Amino acid sequence: MPGISHRLVPSPRQRGEGENALSRPGGRGLGRGWDLSTIALALALVTGPAAAGDDMKSLLAEVKRLADRVETLEQNNRELEKSLSTERLSEKEPELATRLKAVEFQTLSMQKQARQIEALEGISVGASLTGVVQRANRGGVAGGTSRQSRANYRGDISVTLPGGSMGDIEGSLFTHVRFGQGDGLGLRPTYTSTANTTAFQVSGVSDPDSSFAVLAQAWYQLKVPLPRGGAPAQSKEHVHLTFGKIDPFVFFDQNAAADDESTRFLNNAFVHNPLLDSGGDVGADRYGFAPGAIVQYANEHDKSRTWGLSLGAFGSGPGANFSGSLGKPFMIAQADTTWRFNHLPGNYRAYLWRNGRGMGYDGLERRHSGIGMSIDQKVSDWVTAFARYGHQAAGKVRFDRALTVGAEIAGNAWGRTADSLGAAFGLLRTSSAYRRDSVALDLDGDGALDPRASANERIAELYYRYRVNERFELTPDFQLIQRPGGDGGTPTIKVVGLRAKVGF
């Protein structure tokens, strides 16, 4: 169609210097000044009159459909922007906005949980509740008039918190709260301080219906790596500095088979070295805790034979319960190492102690000292044997030698791998001074001279720990105490009991 084609070619004046008039705003090309109908008319002119009939109508319909769709999309976009401008959810807002908000809320929730987990990182909590019921024969009860049965419970809650860091030095804070009721059985005088070490009740409470908790432990520890030419983070040598209110047996005289009265042996002579605990040389308060400080060195270059050294100083006498001077403390030094017997691990500990405020059987305070050792060794995959020995070097004590041996057998042999059978035997030797003085003293406070302590006290305990589930255990227990207090003429004490423990 030569009659119109030449009009579509712009002249140089219309183009300007390199500029196409069709691209200029407001021009007569395909600029923003053209609407969709104008575009359709232009297309019709190009195609010529022959195609301007039905094709023109189809083209206009298609252009109108596209225009409506663009308008709908723009309206949806405006509604979406309006919905996303607020955090509130509405049933009238677009589905896409609802989904976007749901994803945003989930993301924020996950970020919040991550921050909470990060804040709790390094915090550990432990809690347990232990109950014991025991019954003693008539000959074993103080007074010997009738059989006696007693029940008690004890709760323990411990929390370990991160204590900050300074370079490669890391700190931690440990707290332990204890509560309970019940003093346990009232046995005739024995060298064994108690047949139920779980018994706990706050002293000075006149109302037996009342139950109180005490802050048993609260100590702070610094772990200091010794690089020795390497990176501190990879150090195999450490120094631990600990101070606060402490249970000394957490750090000294430990034993893998006999150190927890809530799961293993109940008799105090098996839980710790009898000279320190039952004999009283540890000098702690009546609940077994004292203010103190400990320095420990640990060497782990050889994982199969680690070793360490520890030195501790603790308040004794009135210093143990913060009511008196910290002078003449209880001092204890320990060397420990791990060893393997037929590729099975064992722990070996030797220590010596000195207490400037040791209490003698005559009620006088003087210096006490002694040496001891604690061993636990796995002799098979399911049997762990243990032994403890104590030797009194100075001080007037009822017994000056103590030997305890025993074993814990896992239930693998009878298909109960979580169960354990424990058996232990002990011998507490009467000191020569007490043999001599016991006939001239009323040491038990009954108003009469005590019988001559001419024998050695012998003790035995047998238990079976039955795992009901991962949180709950039941433990029947049986104990014998022969020649209690070194008196060969005294009836044998027999104690049967049942312990229940729940914890995590």
Task: Read off the pLDDT band of 303 (50, 70, 90).
Answer: confident
Which residues on neighbouring strands pair with residue 228, listed in sequence order?
Answer: none
State how many domains the chain has: 2
Mean pLDDT score, 427-432: 95
Across the chain, mean pLDDT equals 84
Question: With contact defined as beta carbons under 8 Å apart, do 360 and 366 qualify?
Answer: yes
Residue 132 is assigned to a structural domain of this protein:
no
The confidence score (pLDDT) of residue 80 equals 66
Report pLDDT digits (tens) over 113-131.
666 555 567 789 999 999 9
Residue 194 is assigned to a structural domain of this protein:
no
Q: Is residue 9 predicted with pLDDT exceeding 70?
A: no
Question: With contact defined as beta carbons under 8 Å apart, do 388 and 373 qualify?
Answer: yes
Global pTM value: 0.76
Among residues 452, 448, 457, which one has the least CA distance to residue 426? 457
What's the CATH code of the domain at 290?
2.40.160
Report pLDDT digits (tens) over 454-491.
889 999 999 999 999 999 999 999 999 999 999 888 89
Residue 29 is assigned to a structural domain of this protein:
yes
Stated length of the chain:
504
Domain boundary among 61, 94, 127: 94
Q: Cα–Cα distance between 271 and 267 in angstroms, integer?
A: 7
Q: Cα–Cα distance between 121 and 265 in angstroms, integer?
A: 34
The confidence score (pLDDT) of residue 40 equals 57
Question: With contact defined as beta carbons under 8 Å apart, do 21 and 28 qualify?
Answer: yes
The confidence score (pLDDT) of residue 267 equals 97
Q: Is residue 11 predicted with pLDDT exceeding 60?
A: no
Task: Read off the pLDDT band of 142 (50, 70, 90).
Answer: confident
Mean pLDDT score, 279-297: 95
Q: Is residue 444 predicted with pLDDT exceeding 60?
A: no
Domain of residue 281 covers 217-225+237-503
The confidence score (pLDDT) of residue 265 equals 98
335: three-class secondary structure by DSSP: strand
Report pLDDT digits (tens) over 41-65.
565 555 555 555 677 778 778 787 8
Task: Read off the pLDDT band of 39 (50, 70, 90).
Answer: low
- Give the torsion sign (CA, 32, 33, 39, 45): negative
Q: Is residue 27 predicted with pLDDT exceeding 60?
A: no
Long-range Cβ contact pairs of 339-345 (< 8 A, separation 24 or more): 339/305, 339/377, 340/304, 340/305, 341/377, 341/378, 341/379, 344/377, 344/378, 344/379, 344/380, 344/381, 345/377, 345/378
The confidence score (pLDDT) of residue 448 equals 57
Query: Helix (H) and strand (E) counts for the chain?
Result: 7, 16
Task: Read off the pLDDT band of 451 (50, 70, 90).
Answer: low
Question: With contact defined as beta carbons under 8 Å apart, do 434 and 427 qualify?
Answer: no
Helices assigned H by DSSP within 382-483: 432-437
- What's 279-328 look like in SS3? CCCCCCCCCCCEEEEEEEEEECCCHHHCEEEEEEEECCHHHCCCCCCCCC
| Residue 221 and residue 73 in one domain | no
Domain boundary among 49, 70, 94: 94
Residue 197 is assigned to a structural domain of this protein:
no
Question: With contact defined as beta carbons under 8 Å apart, do 193 and 257 qualify?
Answer: no
Mean pLDDT score, 196-216: 84
The confidence score (pLDDT) of residue 225 equals 92
Q: Cα–Cα distance between 167 and 300 in angstroms, integer?
A: 21
Residue 170 is assigned to a structural domain of this protein:
no
Residue 71: count other Cβ atoms within 10 Å of its Cβ. Answer: 10
Which amino acid is located at 145 in the chain? T
Mean pLDDT score, 203-223: 85
Among residues 154, 266, 287, 280, which one has the least CA distance to residue 216? 287
Question: With contact defined as beta carbons under 8 Å apart, do 205 and 168 qualify?
Answer: no
The confidence score (pLDDT) of residue 58 equals 80
Among residues 353, 303, 306, which one has the least CA distance to residue 329? 353
Among residues 326, 336, 333, which one has the least CA distance to residue 283? 326
Domain boundary among 40, 62, 94: 94
Q: Is residue 171 predicted with pLDDT exceeding 60?
A: yes
Mean pLDDT score, 306-325: 94
| Residue 419 and residue 277 in one domain | yes
CA angle in degrees (0–180, nearest 5) for 171-172-176: 155
Question: With contact defined as beta carbons under 8 Å apart, do 345 and 338 qualify?
Answer: yes
435: three-class secondary structure by DSSP: helix
Among residues 37, 36, 38, 10, which one has the least CA distance to residue 24? 10
More confident of the two residues 210 and 297? 297
Task: Read off the pLDDT band of 75 (50, 70, 90).
Answer: confident
Q: Is residue 146 predicted with pLDDT exceeding 60?
A: yes
Choose the weakest-confidence range: 21-25, 83-87, 223-227, 234-238.
21-25
User: Measuring CA to CA, how many Å separate 19 from each of 16, 27, 103?
Assistant: 5, 11, 49
